[in-house]
Homo-oligomer: A and B are copies of this chain.
């Protein structure tokens, strides 16, 4: 039985990029932990994902921006559901602090889709 702790085994020091770790994966559902420390999506880049993403911020603060110009500020415990192909970007995360995210990537309809891509375009 796969097990672990969301708040342990977090690398100390500077992280060049956000850290994505798959915690669990099945045909339709991918569960991942994301660690960010001041990271953001490159300017003018968007995340355009083939699957929907339910995401919760478990530590610290962050801001997401959407293609329609709206901005969502997130504090500890805040979650939201991002539909597939809803372009978004991480606009800001707490600098010098460790943000812990939990993301559930899932298929919105009945057609199984085992692909999982996150592109900044």
Contacts and interface: CB of A to CB of B under 8 A. Distances in A.
Given A6-B77, A79-B6, A107 B26 contact: yes
A105 to B, nearest CB: 9
A47 to B, nearest CB: 14
Given A2-B81, A24-B81, A56-B102, 16 more contacts: A1-B81, A1-B86, A7-B77, A8-B77, A24-B54, A26-B107, A26-B108, A26-B109, A27-B28, A27-B109, A28-B29, A28-B107, A29-B104, A29-B106, A29-B107, A106-B106
Interface of A: 1-8, 23-24, 26-29, 31, 52, 54, 56, 58, 72, 75-83, 86, 102, 104, 106-110, 112
